[in-house]
Structure formats: C-alpha cells, structure tokens
C-alpha cells in the first residue's frame, strides 16, 4: 500500500484474496483514501457480493481478457469524468 501513497494511479485493481481473505479489500479501501482518487476494482474468481456491500466496488471475473480490458477502460473513463466534474464545480465556485 505504500506505493499508493508515493505515486498517482489512474486505476487500482486488486485480487480479493491476496495474502489474507481481507487483504484485497484493504488495498481498495486505502486506494479510495489517497488524494488522486483512482478508479478501483476487485478481481476475483469467486464473486462474493454480500461481503463487499454497495458503492463503487466493481467485481471482475478474469475469465475473458477482452471483457476485462473493456471494464478497465470504462473504469478509467468514469474516473476521468468524475475528476472533470469535480474540477468544474471548484472552478464555478471560485468565480
């Protein structure tokens, strides 16, 4: 997680089960707290929606590489849109 504090990322993908059952969720939670607000997604072969709750968590089953790449592109696009909207609101408030 230290790398998230040192660099800016557009997207953070994490496997749900890294070295422990909750490690993937901790990575995503930490990524959502850094200043640049990267898009986030969890990759898992076993989707466990009940453990993740609602919100912007995106679950990706890595069975189809083209589908994975499409979802990654969508996440980055959505993040860029949110960032632009935030900047426009700040600019409008500053006028």
Q: What is the dihedral of CA 87, 9, 54, 88, to 10 degrees?
A: 10
Convert the pLDDT of each residue in 69-95 to its tens digit.
888 888 889 888 988 998 999 999 876
Residues with Cβ within 8 Å of 5's Cβ and at least 6 positions away in sequence, in order, are 34
Split at pLDDT 50, 70, 90, the class of 50 is: very low
Q: 78 lies in which domain range?
A: 2-94
pTM for the model:
0.60
Whether the per-residue pLDDT at 55 is higher than 70: the answer is no
Convert the pLDDT of each residue in 14-36 to its tens digit.
887 777 878 888 888 898 888 88
Sheet holding 11-15, edge to edge: 11-15, 39-43, 59-60
Distances (CA, A) of 84 to 3, 27, 51: 25, 25, 31
Q: How far apart are CA 41 and CA 55, in angstroms?
A: 11
Higher pLDDT, 9 or 95: 9
Q: What is the CATH number of the domain that holds 86?
A: 3.40.50.2300
Per the structure, the count of domains in the chain is 1
């Amino acid at each position: 997680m230290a790398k998230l504090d040192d660099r800016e990322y557009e997207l953070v993908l994490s496997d749900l089960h890294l070295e422990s059952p909750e490690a993937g969720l901790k990575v995503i939670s930490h990524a959502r707290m850094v200043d640049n607000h990267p898009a986030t997604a969890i990759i898992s072969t076993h989707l466990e929606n009940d453990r993740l709750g609602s919100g912007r968590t995106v679950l990706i089953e890595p069975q189809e590489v083209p589908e994975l790449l499409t979802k990654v592109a969508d996440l980055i696009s959505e993040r860029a849109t949110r960032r632009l909207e935030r900047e426009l609101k700040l600019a409008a408030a500053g006028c």
